[in-house]
Amino acid sequence: MQALVLAGGEGTRLRPLTYTTPKAVMPLAGRPFLSFMLDWLHSHGVDDVVLSCGFLSGDVRRVLGDIYQGMRLRYVVEDEPLGTAGPVRLALDEGILAERLVITNGDVLTDLDLSAEVAWHEERGAGATLGLVEVDDTTSYGVVPTNADGLVERFIEKTSGPVPTNRINAGVYVVEREVIEGIPSGRAVSFEREVFPVLAGDSLYGYHAESPYWLDIGTPERYLEGTWDLLAGRVDSTLPARDETGSLVFEGAVVAGAHVGPQTVLGRSCWVGTDARVERSVLHDRVVVGADATVTESVLGERVRVGEGARIGPGAMIGAGATIGEGAKVAEGARVDPDEVVAGTAAAG
Ligand code: GTP
C-alpha cells in the first residue's frame, strides 16, 4: 500500500523551533516526529511512502533517508507551497502514484485503525474516505457530518459557529486515483476548501474511528501534550523505558545533583547543573542548563545555553542556539529566536 505524507508546511505556530528544524523531523520524545507516523503506517501494511516536502525539504531527507523499516521513501519537492491537495497532484504528475493512496497530514500523532478505514472505504466503493475523530472543541478543525452509512453530507471548515457534530477531519484520507486526477495542476489547492466540499454528498465517506489516540502536534501546547502522552504510554510507541519520574533521558546527558522530572525529555548530551530544576519540559540535543536554574513546561531547541539561576517558563519556546544569561527570566509563554541572547536579568518576549 502506498501513502503520501504532507510534510511541506512552514509550521508557523511552532516557531521559533521551526525556523531551524521542519516540523516533520522536529524531535518528539527524542525522535524525529515522522518516525512515529512511519511506524504507524508500517504497522498497517504501508510499504511505499511519498514525502511531500517544501520548506526545509533537504533537512527532512537528510534525517529520514530513502528507506525506513523496509519501506521505500521518496520525496516530491515543490518550489512554491501547493497547499494540501496541490502536492498530491504534483506527485501524480511526476508519475509515482499508485491507483489508491493513503494521504496523511504530517503532524498527526495517532494510533487510529487505518486498516479498518481502508476496509470501510472499499466496502462503500468510495472515491475518498476521511478518518474522523471526536474532539471537545471543534473550532480549529474541519467538522464532518455524515449519514448513517458514513456518506459525508457537508464539509464545514474551521468555524466558531454552531456545528451539527463534534466529529472532525483527522487528516488521514484514503483516496482513489480518479479523485486525484480531478485536482488542478500547477497551483496551490486545498483538499479542505476545494476538493472535499465538492465531493460531499456524492463519493466522499467518513470513517469514524472508535476513540483512538489522535493529536495534531502543531502548536506549542499540543507538542508538549503529545510529549507527555508518549511518556505516559497513552499512545502506542516503541520508545525506550522511562525513569521513575516518567522522564526520558538520552545517552550522554549529565544530570548529577539536578532535579529532572517529572515528564521531561533530555536530549543527547545535555548537561544540567547542580540544583537546577527541569520539570515537564523538553530539551533537544546538547542543551546546557546552569546550576540553580529552573525550566518549567518549556521547550528548548538544540544547543540552547541557560545561565546559572535563570528562570524559564512555563510555556516558553526557545530557538536553537539561543543563550539565556545568568539570572535572566524568560517569562511565561515567551518566544526566544534562534541564536538570540537574553542578557542578565532582562525579561524576554
Ligand atoms: P502552521 O503554519 O503552524 O499552520 O503549520 P503548517 O504549515 O504545518 O500548516 P498545517 O498545520 O495546516 O498543515 C497540515 C499538514 O500539511 C502539515 O503536515 C504540513 O506540513 C502540510 N502542509 C501544509 N501546507 C503545505 C504545503 O503547501 N505543501 C506541502 N507539501 N505540505 C503542506
Q: Give the tens place of pLDDT for each residue, 263-319.
A: 999 999 999 999 999 999 999 999 999 999 999 999 999 999 999 999 999 999 999
Domain 248-348 in CATH 2.160.10.10: yes
Q: Which fold would CATH assign to domain 2-232?
A: Spore Coat Polysaccharide Biosynthesis Protein SpsA; Chain A (3.90.550)
For the CA of 188, the closest atom of ligand 1 is: 27
The three three-digit cell numbers of residue 228, written as one number: 507527555
What are the residue ranges spanned by the domains of the chain?
2-232, 248-348
CA 119 to chain centroid, in Å, comes to 26
Residue with CA nearest ligand 1 atom 18? 106
Mutate to test the pocket of ligand 1, among 17, 79, 107, 168 (most ligand atoms within 8 A of CB): 107
pLDDT at 20: 95
**pTM recorded for the entire structure:** 0.92
Distance 6 CA to ligand 1 centre (A): 7
Distance 13 CA to ligand 1 centre (A): 10
Q: Which residues contact 299 (CB under 8 A, 6 or more apart)?
A: 17, 220, 223, 224, 281, 282, 284, 316, 317, 318
pLDDT at 209: 84
Residues of the chain with pLDDT under 70: 346-349
pLDDT at 349: 45
